[in-house]
Each structure stands twice: as C-alpha cells, then as structure tokens.
Amino acid sequence: MKVLFMGTPDIAAEALRALAESGECGLVGAVTQPDRPKGRGMKMIPPPVKLYAEKIGIPVFQPSTLKDGAFESELAKLSPDLIIVAAYGRILPKYVLEYPRYGCVCAHASLLPKYRGAAPINRAVMAGERLTGITAIYMDEGIDTGDMIMKIEVPIGENDCAGDVHDRLADAAGRAMVETVRMIKAGVVTRTKQPSEGATYAQKLTREDGELNFSDTAEDLHNRIRGLAPAPCAWTRTPDGKLLKIAEARVSDARSGSDCEAGTVKSLDGGSITVLCGGGSLLSITKVIPEGKGRMDAADYIRGRKIAAGDKLG
C-alpha cells in the first residue's frame, strides 16, 4: 500500500516514525508546512516532519498552498492508495480528499466529537479534563467531523501540563495510524458516525487566552497555566507593568479571607509565590519566566527581590 503522509509538528513526526518502523506500508512522501523563521535571528527552521522524512530518505513536499489544484500534479505522480494526516495545519481541498482509493485518514488529538479543531490538547487541559485521547477518522470536508475508525484513551494527571499530554498523545497517534493501516489492508476497518451530541470546538490559541484573571479560582488558573505550558505560557503583569509568564503552579490546600484583592501576593514562603484568587483560594506559583529572562524557579525570582508580599499581580 502506497501511503502519502501529511503533517507538521512533533506529534505528526512521531506518527510518521511509527508508520515507517512498522513496515506496514510504503511511504511515497511527506507533505508538510514550509520552513518558518524563528528566534531572535529569525533563522529558517524546518518542521519536525521534514527533519524525520529526510532522515529516513522519503521525498518531502512543502507547498505554500493546496488551493486551486496547486498540488494536483504532484499528487498524480505519487499516486497514493491512502493519505494519512496528523496535525498538518491546513484544510485539505476536495481534490486531495477524493484522490486515494482508500481515502484520507487522520489522527486527531481528542476523543471526538469533543475538541474538534486547532488546539485540542491545550483546550482539554485548560478545561480540567482528566481524559483525552487519539481518534482515527476518515476525513471529510468538515473540520474533524468524519466517521470514526478507532480511539485510544490517554489520561491527564492533576498536574500534567499540555506538553506532558502531548508526548503521550504522540505515542498513541503512531499506534492508532499503524493499526488503522493494518485494518484497511485486512479489509476489516469499521466506520462510526460521530454523534452531534457533545461536540465542541477547540479554537486556536490567542494571546488573550494566556492572561490570568486572579478573580477566577486557583483551580481554574492552575488548569489554564497547565494548558499553556511549556509554551506559549500563561502570563500576568507585575506592579511595575512588566510581563511575567507563569510556567508552573500548584493549588494550595490553604484558604484565605477576603481582606485584600484577588491577585495580591499573600506570601513568599517555601520558595513559591502564593497569590490570592477567587473565593479565597490560593495559587502557589513555582516557576516563572520574567520579561527578557529565561525560565527560573520562583525561589530565584524571589531572591532577586523582584516581588514582595502585598504586591498585586495583574
């Protein structure tokens, strides 16, 4: 079976690796996003799928668009029997979806129909979910609305960040795609329509998603911080107006009275910054990224006298 792979970030590269190592299919190429400038020097950085595809010696294609038949001639030359997609980052036009005789299948990083869309991992953690997973689906012209093939569940721990969950999902994505190929080859693949009930959409992250409102409960803030870590990170501002990213925090078992405003630093004990949140709940910030600096323990930030008890964040 000739398979064309389409994907871009690390989770997609892991799915590609699993397919390559399984020996279940012949990979005729990898389609990925163009290289992007990153960092202070704006150096052009290739996506992880490109790096892995070049490592194993399969052709790489980086079209700037798929619209208006832009990839049609390359598709005809490759002539794939099946297209496998994992976090490619673009909507596939009809001519791509309809080309392979076995269709296009996708590894989506949620338990569909929940969290369709661009940021399912982040949104699930931000919402405080304790379970997510990979859903293998047949793709259609909707956004993650196709018939389901199989699911692999992945737990979310109380203090897991989006990065932790991503790594577990990457492994599950690879396993799901290998098993899907096996089922298609054996002619035993099943299709189950997604229920409309319970469907949600995981919108792309914005800068505003990262701003912490300390009138929310400590648990809600903890979930937001976890859902945006290790990047792009939740953030607030110090009394002098400087940006302070919050890389890690914990919900305190203690509670406080309402003698001061939400966002007030209650204590700097134990190497953490304990902040008053909604309903008297307390959030202990343990790792921060100060403006213009790298990630550091809150204890180091405290020792630098950058914050004091009684200061108000936000």
Question: pLDDT (tens digit, 9 = 90+) per residue, 246-298?
Answer: 999 999 987 876 678 999 999 998 889 999 999 999 999 999 999 999 999 99
Q: How many residues does the chain have?
A: 314
Q: Distance between CA atoms of 17 and 174, rounded to whole angstroms?
A: 7
The answer to whether the Cα torsion of 181, 186, 191, 192 is positive or negative is negative
pLDDT score for 304: 87
Q: Do domains 2-202 and 207-303 have the same CATH topology?
A: no
Handedness of CA 4, 144, 135, 65 (dihedral sign): positive
Instruction: State pTM to two decimals.
Output: 0.93
What is the rounded distance in angstroms from the CA atom of residue 198 to the CA atom of residue 190? 22
- Those residues whose C-beta lies under 8 Å from the C-beta of residue 126, and which sit 6 or more positions away, are 209, 223, 224, 226, 227, 228
**Of the candidates 118, 116, 188, 186, which has an alpha carbon nearest to the alpha carbon of residue 149?**
188
Q: From CA 38, how far away is CA 94, in angstroms rounded?
A: 32
Whether the CB-CB separation of 100 and 4 falls below 8 Å is answered with yes
In CATH, what is the architecture of 2-202?
3-Layer(aba) Sandwich (3.40)
Return the domain boundaries, the chain: 2-202, 207-303
Q: Which CATH class is domain 207-303?
A: alpha beta
Residue by residue, pLDDT tens for the chain (314 residues) are: 999 999 999 999 999 999 999 999 999 999 999 999 887 778 899 999 999 999 999 999 999 999 999 999 999 999 999 999 999 999 999 999 999 999 999 999 999 999 999 999 999 999 999 999 999 999 999 999 999 999 999 999 999 999 999 999 999 999 999 999 999 999 999 999 999 999 999 999 999 999 999 999 999 999 999 999 999 999 999 999 999 999 999 999 878 766 789 999 999 988 899 999 999 999 999 999 999 999 999 999 999 888 999 999 99
Judged on CB neighbours under 10 Å (0-12, 13-18, 19+), 135 is buried
Q: State pLDDT tens for residues 51-79.
A: 999 999 999 999 999 999 999 999 999 99
